[in-house]
Amino acid sequence: MRVLIADEVDKECPARLRAAGFEVSERFDISAEELKKVVGDYEVLIVRSRTKVTQEIIESGKRLRLIGRVGVGLDTIDTKTAEAKGIKVINTPQMSTVAVVELVMSMMLNLVRGVHLANESMKKGLWEKKRFHGTELNGKTLGVVGLGRIGKSVAERAKSFGMKIIVYDVMIDEEAIKRLGAERMATLEDVLRRSDIVTLHVPLLPETKRMINERTLSLMKSGAYLINASRGEVVDCKHLLESLKSGRLAGAALDVYENEPPREPWEKELVALPNVVATPHVGAQTKEAQVLGAITIAENIINAFKPL
Ligand code: NAD
């Protein structure tokens, strides 16, 4: 069984696959053109988000039986074509939960205390003590939109900071809501109207695309903060830029963008705003998450090909 790893994956993955008898090629920077040429030699293709597994690539993969995505989102894989060809697609949705949650907590604290700005000021040799008056998370209301793996863990940690948690999700998980001591809102609009900080943890779906737009942004409390570490297209960032420039929103933290990297002038203006904390889609990038993802994908591939 031949496996092609097309994106950088922790060494635990090839090591475990080789130990189980798979023949593994590691070509971490392979181009789309080259991949199309060689994919026909492999039964298994492993990718992260860099490699787009398009219809063309799947159709060139004459022997392909399985595509493994180290990570959560399957939006970079043409799953319909894969399914039509009987190719299994698996991912590792749990790997990055803790990593994303900890990034979101750091964003929240950064936003309310201006750590990024104070740091920048110190590095310029300044001592602007009076400039950096923040607010506290304690006693504030956190609106969690999407109470799945990441949303629940963010809520859990925010609770320990003394925050009141309100949530909106299309699925109702009463047990989790009770455990978190959270309050469930009937609509997204209710969460936006009542939160001091809103954090988005929904998948990118037709219903969630631009769920934060001109109308819904206008419902947010004046002086509220928005955090998006889900998917860039969940937020209409042109309107987010306007809300931040006008001072209606106090700030935003973003790890994900419609274009990665941002390329339009308005996108560049957005990330350059002083009240925006921006990171380059690094939510899953901790050592622990990468090792967990590599082990999980390898074990799942080994199990998938085990004789019954
Ligand atoms: P999950 O599937 O566990 O949770 C998603 C939740 O959103 C579910 O509870 C679901 O019911 C809810 N939901 C779906 N549609 C909704 C809607 N229209 N309105 C309200 N709620 C809705 O997913 P997760 O693992 O918690 O991941 C959440 C998001 O984080 C995803 O977008 C994922 O792609 C993203 N993510 C980002 C990074 C990063 O590097 N920044 C890393 C991992 C995951």
Residue ranges in the chain modelled with pLDDT below 70: 308
b/e code 136-170 from CB counts within 10 Å (16+ = b): ebeebbbbbbbbbbbbbbbbeebbeeebbbbbbbe
Counted domains in the chain: 2
Give the CATH number, domain containing residue 18.
3.40.50.720
Q: Domain check: are 234 and 89 in the same one?
A: no
Q: Domain check: are 272 and 188 in the same one?
A: yes
Q: Domain check: are 163 and 19 in the same one?
A: no
Nearest CA to ligand 1 atom 25: 149
Q: Domain check: are 35 and 69 in the same one?
A: yes
CA–CA distance, 308 with 291 (Å, rounded to integer): 28
Q: Tell me how far the alpha carbon of residue 84 lies from the centroid of ligand 1, in angstroms.
A: 26
Reported in sequence order, the residue ranges of the chain that DSSP labels E, i.e. its strands, are 2-5, 23-26, 44-47, 66-69, 88-91, 141-145, 164-168, 183-184, 197-200, 224-228, 249-254, 276-278
Q: Domain check: are 113 and 207 in the same one?
A: yes
Q: Domain check: are 70 and 142 in the same one?
A: no
CA–CA distance, 56 with 9 (Å, rounded to integer): 23
Nearest CA to ligand 1 atom 9: 148
Pocket test of ligand 1: the residue of 72, 154, 168, 177 to mutate, having most ligand atoms within 8 Å of its CB, is 72
Nearest CA to ligand 1 atom 30: 230
Q: Domain check: are 112 and 89 in the same one?
A: no
Q: Residue 118 sits in which domain range?
A: 97-278
Per-residue pLDDT reduced to its tens digit, 199-257: 999 999 999 999 999 999 999 999 999 999 999 999 999 999 999 999 999 999 999 99
Q: Domain check: are 86 and 186 in the same one?
A: no
Q: Give the residue numbers annotated as catalytic, written as ranges.
A: 231, 260, 281
Q: Tell me how far the alpha carbon of residue 196 lies from the centroid of ligand 1, in angstroms.
A: 21
Q: Report the nearest atom of ligand 1 relative to the CA of 150.
A: 26
Q: Tell me how far the alpha carbon of residue 210 lies from the centroid of ligand 1, in angstroms.
A: 14
**Looking at residue 261, what is its pLDDT?**
95
